[in-house]
């Protein structure tokens, strides 16, 4: 097991390194000179000295390989440079926005998974009943609904319903308060974004649980368990669900990446000052240092989630470890 | 004797229409999806003739009008007819969705089959590069590409195509690996055929089933990604009518007074992706019964 863990952890290094190289390469593909764009914004004339100074400031006057090594060394020390737009360190910018995004991501995952697994399992056990039909429609809808549209419509619904019920339309608060200071205010802000971004998550996991469960229930060992007179509850919990959840665990890891992508759009809808919004602003402002740091951050999260999923998988299914 | 046996059991040869009819009878949900896709394709391609108004013409006398007989789906904050904009938006979604899915799919197909066919170092390098590209979530990769090349229809297509390539090549590679060990590939090599011929004539046709299923789901993903990018203001730009773009800005601002601006474009996206997904699921069941979700 330890060998497996060490091997798996070491395998993430080349991926992260490659991703860093790709990000570095992508950012060097930008057509034209960043400094020219910054200085000659309105087509105005500028001082050639300013151009040289700007090149020196960003560091593009040095050999590419030096720039690359410096970029990698910076990543190793969590030093992402300064934002080209605000002039503040990139790490400060990101850290200030991280809590809200993290909270929504975790809330969405928790809600989605805790709905998806029981419903998916029930739908498989009661195949072709009304609950199965409902779950399937819910799941198909979740994959087709754009999360930002769901966000707009849910805000609209909340506005209309509260306006109709109490006379004054209620809007979720938009400034972030940590959950330990004011849990009600914090949750009333995070819950709608978490639901809209988590709907797809729930839908996909539900589909997976259902099909995995259907498959497992046809296995020989389930028949054996029945034949030896085990009660249904034990058959389902201990024999069926445990095996059916294996592919679901993998999927939850993969879908976490979608969730991050979904956050980028959802934060825009709810006007939340999270990392996703920062990303969009960085792209809009052509703030390349911030963009490359954020891309690296998402890739790191993705690689790390996959690592956790793989280790979990190895723990859940001993066959994987020895393969 | 054996010849008679073969004559007694001819392989079922169905015409295109017969198999289509069979598909419709066996897959009612898939047929519903197919109908949605056809409706979308027809409206997209015939937008000039069927849309009641010019999708980019402002009419300041009819701003944020509720749905009526004049404007079936109402008008937006500039008085533009929503119905016409949704019809033209279908064209934009189709162009972006189909182009990125087909280009990304075919590039992935060739790379995946080549990776499996050559094996060894080539395979290793291609797989590691795919690993790296796949570590970027689709929308994040698309955002990074847009940040470099700027917004606009062509760049959006590029931004969505690139992340789709390794996703396709991965699936194709695993099917191609089984085909590579088939005797007929060895036979082709023994006949002295070139790599290109073996890959294109002998291997590619045999991985078409998973490939088609993949490309169908790509179209839906691409449409959703395009809508998200356009909604963020980083995709298709005004005045080109696009569903995601229609939800941007005005839609939220006027959401409580003119909800139709926010609702209808979203319904269009949802129906389009729903149709493609239902059709894709049914196609999977029809093409490859082993993959069927019971």
Q: Is A210 on the interface with B (CB under 8 A)?
A: yes
- pLDDT tens-place string over residues A133-156: 888 888 888 888 888 888 888 888
Q: Which residues contact B117 (CB under 8 A, 6 or more apart)?
A: B176, B180, B195, B198, B199, B203
Q: Which residues contact A291 (CB under 8 A, 6 or more apart)?
A: A27, A279, A282, A283, B143, B144, B147
Tell if the CB–CB gap between A153 and B128 is shorter than 8 Å.
Answer: no
Q: Which two tokens stand for residue A149?
A: 């549209």
Per-residue confidence (pLDDT) for residue A238, from 0 to 100: 82
Of B136, B247, B273, the CB nearest to A148: B247
| pLDDT top residue among B147 and A230 | A230
User: Phi/psi at A82 (nearest 5 deg)?
Assistant: -110, 150
Q: Is A143 on the interface with B (CB under 8 A)?
A: yes
Q: Quick check: A109 and A202 in contact, CB under 8 A?
A: no
Q: Is A295 on the interface with B (CB under 8 A)?
A: yes
- pLDDT tens-place string over residues A86-126: 778 888 888 888 888 888 888 898 888 888 888 988 888 88
Average pLDDT over residues A61-72: 79
- Angle at the Cα of A122 from the Cα atoms of A119 and A128, rounded to 5 degrees: 110
* B76: nearest Cα among B274, B288, B247: B247
List of chain A residues whose C-beta atoms are within 8 Å of the C-beta of residue B273 = 143-144, 146
Q: State yes or no: pLDDT of A73 exceeds 80.
A: yes
Q: Report the mean per-residue pLDDT for chain A.
A: 80
Per-residue confidence (pLDDT) for residue A60, from 0 to 100: 67
Q: Which residues contact B220 (CB under 8 A, 6 or more apart)?
A: A143, A144, B97, B272, B273, B276, B277, B280
Per-residue confidence (pLDDT) for residue A32, from 0 to 100: 59
- Contacts across the A-B interface (CB distance below 8 Å): 143
Per-residue confidence (pLDDT) for residue A38, from 0 to 100: 65
List of chain B residues whose C-beta atoms are within 8 Å of the C-beta of residue A143 = 220, 273, 277
Helix H or strand E segment including B189 = helix B183-190
Q: Is A99 on the interface with B (CB under 8 A)?
A: no
List of chain B residues whose C-beta atoms are within 8 Å of the C-beta of residue A141 = 270, 274
Tell if the CB–CB gap between B135 and A19 is shorter than 8 Å.
Answer: yes
Q: Is A12 on the interface with B (CB under 8 A)?
A: no
Per-residue confidence (pLDDT) for residue B99, from 0 to 100: 93
End-to-end CA distance of chain A: 11
Q: Which residues of chain B have pLDDT under 50?
A: 1-7, 292-294
pTM: 0.83
How would residue A41 be classed by pLDDT, with cut points 50, 70 and 90? low
Tell if the CB–CB gap between A302 and B137 is shorter than 8 Å.
Answer: yes
User: Phi/psi at A145 (nearest 5 deg)?
Assistant: -85, 125
Tokens 């940040």 map to which residue?
B147
Distance (Å, whole) CA B98 – CA A196: 27
How would residue A321 be classed by pLDDT, with cut points 50, 70 and 90? low
This model of the complex carries an ipTM of 0.79
Of A15, A264, A288, the CB nearest to B139: A264
Per-residue confidence (pLDDT) for residue B163, from 0 to 100: 87
């Amino acid at each position: 097991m330890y060998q497996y863990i060490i091997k798996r952890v070491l395998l993430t290094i080349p991926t992260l390194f490659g991703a860093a190289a790709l990000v570095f390469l992508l950012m060097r593909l930008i057509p034209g000179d960043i400094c020219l764009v910054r200085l000659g914004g309105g087509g105005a004339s500028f001082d050639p000295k300013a151009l040289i100074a700007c090149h020196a400031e960003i560091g593009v006057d040095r050999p590419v390989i030096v720039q690359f090594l410096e970029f990698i060394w910076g990543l190793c020390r969590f030093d992402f440079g300064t934002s080209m737009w605000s002039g503040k360190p990139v790490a400060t910018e990101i850290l200030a926005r991280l809590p809200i995004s993290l909270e929504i991501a975790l809330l969405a995952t928790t809600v989605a998974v805790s709905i998806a697994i029981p419903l998916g399992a029930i739908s498989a056990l009661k195949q072709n009943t009304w609950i199965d039909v409902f779950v399937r429609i819910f799941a198909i809808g979740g994959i087709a609904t754009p999360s930002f549209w769901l966000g707009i419509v849910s805000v609209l619904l909340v506005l209309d319903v509260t306006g109709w019920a109490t006379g004054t339309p209620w809007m979720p608060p938009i400034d972030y308060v940590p959950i330990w200071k004011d849990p009600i205010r914090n949750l009333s802000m995070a819950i709608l974004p978490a639901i809209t971004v988590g709907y797809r998550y729930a839908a996909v996991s539900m589909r997976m649980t259902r099909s995995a469960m259907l498959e497992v229930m046809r296995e020989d060992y389930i028949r054996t368990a029945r034949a030896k007179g085990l009660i249904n509850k034990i058959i389902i919990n201990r024999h069926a669900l445990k095996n059916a959840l294996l592919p679901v665990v993998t999927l939850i890891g993969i879908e976490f990446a979608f969730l991050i992508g979904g956050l980028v759009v959802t934060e825009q809808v709810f006007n939340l000052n999270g990392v996703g919004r920062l990303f969009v602003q960085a792209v809009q402002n052509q703030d390349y240092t911030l963009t490359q740091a954020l891309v690296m951050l998402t890739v790191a999260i993705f690689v790390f989630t996959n690592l956790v999923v793989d280790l979990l998988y190895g723990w859940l299914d001993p066959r994987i470890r020895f393969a | 004797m054996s010849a008679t046996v073969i004559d007694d059991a001819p392989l079922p040869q169905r015409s295109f229409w017969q198999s289509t009819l069979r598909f419709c009878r066996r897959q009612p949900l898939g047929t519903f999806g197919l109908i949605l896709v056809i409706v979308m394709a027809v409206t997209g391609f015939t937008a000039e003739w069927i849309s009641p108004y010019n999708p980019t013409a402002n009419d300041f006398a009819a701003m944020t009008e509720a749905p009526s007989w004049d404007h079936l789906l109402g008008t937006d904050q500039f008085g533009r007819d929503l119905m016409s904009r949704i019809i033209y938006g279908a064209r934009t979604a189709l162009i972006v969705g189909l182009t990125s899915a087909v280009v990304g799919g075919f590039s992935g197909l060739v790379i995946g089959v080549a990776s499996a066919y050559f094996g060894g170092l080539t395979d290793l390098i291609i797989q590691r590069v795919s690993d790296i590209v796949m570590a970027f979530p689709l929308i994040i990769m698309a955002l990074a590409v847009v940040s470099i090349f700027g917004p606009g229809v062509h760049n959006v297509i590029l931004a969505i195509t690139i992340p789709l390539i390794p996703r396709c090549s991965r699936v194709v590679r695993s099917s191609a690996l089984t085909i590579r060990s088939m005797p007929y590939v060895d036979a082709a090599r023994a006949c002295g055929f070139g790599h290109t011929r073996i890959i294109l004539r002998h291997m590619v046709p045999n991985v078409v089933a998973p490939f088609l299923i993949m490309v169908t789901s790509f179209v839906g993903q691409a449409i959703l990604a395009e809508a998200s990018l356009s909604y963020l203001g980083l995709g298709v730009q005004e005045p080109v009518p696009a569903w995601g773009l229609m939800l941007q800005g005005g839609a939220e601002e006027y959401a409580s007074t003119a909800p139709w601006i926010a609702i209808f474009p979203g319904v269009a996206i949802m129906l389009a992706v729903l149709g493609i997904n239902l059709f894709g699921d049914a196609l999977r069941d029809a093409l490859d019964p082993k993959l069927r979700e019971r």
